[in-house]
Chains A and B, each alone.
Chain A
Amino acid sequence: KAGVTQTPRYLIKTRGQQVTLSCSPISGHRSVSWYQQTPGQGLQFLFEYFSETQRNKGNFPGRFSGRQFSNSRSEMNVSTLELGDSALYLCASSPEDTRGYEQYFGPGTRLTVT
C-alpha cells in the first residue's frame, strides 16, 4: 500500500504571500491530521479532518486553514505568511478503527518564508 504523500516537498515563499500544501492519505484512511514542526516549538498539532469535516483544532491563528475532499485528500492553506511560519509541515492519516492515534505520517513539506 502506498504511504502518505505530500506535495510539494520544498517551497520558498515571500512574507505576505499565501501557500497551499497538499496531502494524499493512505488508501482507505479517512482521517487526516496536520502538524507543524519547528526547532523552537517542536511538533505541534494544527488540525484534523474526517469525512470532509474539521474534527479537532490546535491553537493556531486563523491564517492557518484546511479542508478535506470527498476522496480524503486534504489541503492546508496559510495566508499572509510570516517569517515564523517557516517550518516542516507534516500530514498524517489514520484508519478510523484505530480511533485516531495510530497515525501514519508523510515525509513533510519544508516551507521557507523569506
Chain B
Amino acid sequence: DAKTTQPPSMDCAEGRAANLPCNHSTISGNEYVYWYRQIHSQGPQYIIHGLKNNETNEMASLIITEDRKSSTLILPHATLRDTAVYYCIVRPRIYNQGGKLIFGQGTELSVKP
C-alpha cells in the first residue's frame, strides 16, 4: 500500500476553511485516497474518498492533484467541533478483499475561536 505523509499538527480559525494536505507520491493507479477523522475518545469517522476526480460531500471536499501524488481535504467553514485527528489513507478497492485500514499518525487539527 502507498505510504502517506501528513503534517503532525495544524491550526485553523473558526469559520475559516481548513486545508489538510496529504502526500502520497507512491500511489498506484488503482489506489483510492480515503480520509477519516477521530475526535478525542471517539471511534474514527469516515469523511470522504476519491480516485482522481475532486469529490465533495456534506462534510468536506477532496482535491486530488492531476498526478495523484498529493491531495487536500478541505473543511469549508471549520467549527470547534472539527477539532480532531485527520487521517489520510491510500488503499486499492478490490472486490471481496475486505477492509484493512492502515492508519498513520494523522494531522491533529485544532480549530480556535
Using known A-B contacts A42-B105, A101-B49, A101-B91, determine if residue A94 contacts B42 with beta carbons closer than 8 Å.
Answer: no
- Stretch of B14-22, B62-70, B96-104 that contacts chain A: B96-104
B45 at the interface (CB under 8 A from A): yes
Determine how close the nearest CB of chain B comes to the CB of A7; give it in whole angstroms. Answer: 14
- Residue interface bits B72-84, CB-to-A below 8 A is 1, else 0: 0000000000000
Residues of A within 8 A of B42 (CB): 105, 107-108
Q: Are B100 and A33 in contact (CB under 8 A)?
A: yes
Determine how close the nearest CB of chain A comes to the CB of B21; give it in whole angstroms. Answer: 19
A8 at the interface (CB under 8 A from B): no
State A99–B94 Cα separation when bound (angstroms): 6
Using known A-B contacts A42-B103, A45-B102, determine if residue A99 contacts B44 with beta carbons closer than 8 Å.
Answer: no
Residues of A within 8 A of B94 (CB): 99
State A23–B93 Cα separation when bound (angstroms): 25
A21 at the interface (CB under 8 A from B): no
Report the interface size for chain A: residues with CB under 8 A from the other chain: 26
Q: Are B99 and A103 in contact (CB under 8 A)?
A: yes
| Complex interface residues of chain A between 7 and 37 (CB less than 8 A to chain B) | 31, 33, 35
Say what secondary structure dominates the interface of chain A: strand
State A90–B103 Cα separation when bound (angstroms): 13
Task: Choose from B44, B45, B87, B98 the contact partner of A100 (Cβ within 8 Å).
Answer: B98
State A56–B104 Cα separation when bound (angstroms): 19
Q: Are B99 and A48 in contact (CB under 8 A)?
A: yes
Q: Are B95 and A105 in contact (CB under 8 A)?
A: no
- Residue interface bits B19-35, CB-to-A below 8 A is 1, else 0: 00000000000001010
Determine how close the nearest CB of chain A comes to the CB of B16; give it in whole angstroms. Answer: 28
Q: Are A105 and B44 in contact (CB under 8 A)?
A: yes
Using known A-B contacts A101-B49, A101-B93, determine if residue A48 contacts B98 with beta carbons closer than 8 Å.
Answer: yes
Could you show 22 A-B contacts with beta carbons less than 8 Å apart?
A4-B43, A33-B98, A33-B100, A35-B101, A42-B103, A43-B87, A43-B101, A43-B103, A45-B100, A45-B101, A58-B100, A92-B43, A99-B95, A99-B99, A100-B97, A101-B34, A101-B99, A102-B34, A103-B44, A103-B46, A103-B101, A105-B43
